[in-house]
Amino acid sequence: MEQMINSLLLLLDDTVTLYRSLLALYGEERQSLLDFDLENINTSAKKKENLVLKIKILEEQRHRIVEGLAAALSLDAADLTLTRLAEKVDIRQSYKLSALGDELSATISQIKDVHRTNRALIIHSQGLVTDSMAFLSNHLAPDPVYHQNGSLAMQDQSGRLLARTI
């Protein structure tokens, strides 16, 4: 059981490191959003995907270790939290489990906050683009219309759409 706990501690340490990297990446993404740097935004998205995949792999490994620990302690794996596990092990491991759990929780909370901020920036930017497109669409002159008598009807609007793509 001690080997499983040590494996879990190493795994949690790696997980915290990956989440910190993800937090730093969200910070870079925020700056890219503020700078309207599309290339860096795309690069950040790819890096985030890679980190999330690595975190998912570690999460699957953690589930296997927790199931083994739950079986060794005759507990249900769904009920075995880091806090509950910390109560069942020696004081040294208990302290490490609690510290890593607190650090992981704090890092994930920070990620959620930065994610909300980035999401708000993206929604705001989308709104600006939508409003700009609506403004341009409303100020375009329609094509001239010829009436049956041959006269040409022009609208008072000015402007002409050259292309609908950017």
Per-residue model confidence (pLDDT) at position 125:
85
Predicted local distance difference test score (pLDDT) of residue 83: 87
Q: Which residue, 63, 69, 56, is CA-closest to 5?
A: 69
Domains parsed from the chain with CATH numbers: 2-153 (1.20.58.300)
Backbone φ and ψ for 68, nearest 5 degrees, come out as -65, -40
Helix (H, G, I), strand (E, B) or coil at 7: helix
- Tell me which residues of the chain have a pLDDT lower than 50: none
| pLDDT (0 to 100) of residue 140 | 64
pLDDT at 49: 96
Residue 162 confidence (pLDDT): 58
Q: How far apart are CA 75 and CA 81, in angstroms?
A: 11
Q: How far is CA 161 from CA 61, 79, 123, 132, in A?
A: 56, 62, 26, 13
pLDDT at 88: 87
* pLDDT value for 163: 61
Residue 101's pLDDT is: 93
